[in-house]
């Protein structure tokens, strides 16, 4: 069983997908965190973000994995706490936009589906990774609400937040995600569209559970 969820940054995909997977007893896969792990590697090793071949080779020569308990591993090291920085927020869209990198990542993502029932979320899961998924959702929210959520998340983690900077970061990420040539975020008629701007996480999960039932 494959449940695919796409949507823009800050729409709540990760939280919703994690709860949904837990309720169903499925494996939760955050594809965005896989790209974040790669971006962390690129920045850590001072790899040129303008060089597709260098990023591809770094990906090929290192082991990026997600464990069944949702830990992000780089060559066996848990880097889960290191991949949510603003520097990675700024660079991940560029790293994730290269065709060869995305195709290699898709191979990893499809491998999960050959072994487990999964709930997978990202930008192109319903359109490119699993176009034949059993259920396809597009989770959205207004940009103001998504910025508010990001600010709240940062505050809960004890991180400083600048509303205007986060607004610009999310706005730029939306533009990059929706206009890139390969693996763009798209709305389709096959997706079940959910605007979560005025919904709680529990309400979104309950709606999805009803659809799946």
Q: Is there a contact between 178 and 187 (Cβ–Cβ < 8 Å)? A: no
Those residues whose C-beta lies under 8 Å from the C-beta of residue 95, and which sit 6 or more positions away, are 35, 38, 39, 42, 49, 55, 101
- Binned at pLDDT 50, 70 and 90, residue 82 comes out as very high
Mean pLDDT of the chain: 93
Classified as helix, coil or strand, 3 is strand
Burial of 123 (0-12, 13-18, 19+ CB in 10 A): buried
Residue 54, pLDDT > 90, answer: yes
Beta bridge partners, 67, equal: none
Residue 66, pLDDT > 90, answer: no
- Binned at pLDDT 50, 70 and 90, residue 49 comes out as very high
Confidence (pLDDT) at 67? 85
pTM of the model: 0.83
Domains in the chain, CATH or no CATH each? 2-198 (3.40.50.300)
């Amino acid at each position: 069983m494959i449940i695919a969820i796409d949507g823009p940054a800050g729409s709540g995909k990760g939280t919703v997908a994690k709860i949904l997977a837990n309720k169903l007893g499925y494996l939760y896969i955050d594809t965005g965190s896989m790209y974040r792990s790669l971006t962390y590697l690129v920045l850590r090793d001072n790899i040129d973000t303008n060089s597709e071949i260098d990023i591809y080779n770094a990906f090929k020569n290192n082991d990026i994995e997600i464990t069944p308990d949702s830990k992000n591993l780089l060559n066996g090291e848990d880097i889960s706490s290191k991949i949510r920085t603003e520097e990675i927020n700024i660079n991940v869209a560029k790293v994730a936009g290269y065709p060869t990198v995305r195709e290699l990542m898709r191979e990893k993502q499809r491998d999960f589906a050959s072994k487990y029932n999964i709930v997978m979320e990202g930008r192109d899961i319903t359109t490119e990774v699993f176009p034949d998924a059993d259920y396809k959702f597009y989770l959205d929210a207004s940009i103001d609400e998504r910025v508010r959520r990001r600010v709240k998340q940062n505050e809960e983690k004890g991180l400083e937040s600048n509303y205007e900077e986060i607004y610009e970061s999310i706005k730029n990420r939306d533009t990059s995600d929706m206009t890139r040539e390969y693996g763009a975020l798209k709305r389709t008629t096959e997706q079940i569209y959910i605007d979560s701007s005025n919904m709680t996480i529990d309400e979104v999960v309950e709606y999805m559970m009803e659809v799946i039932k």
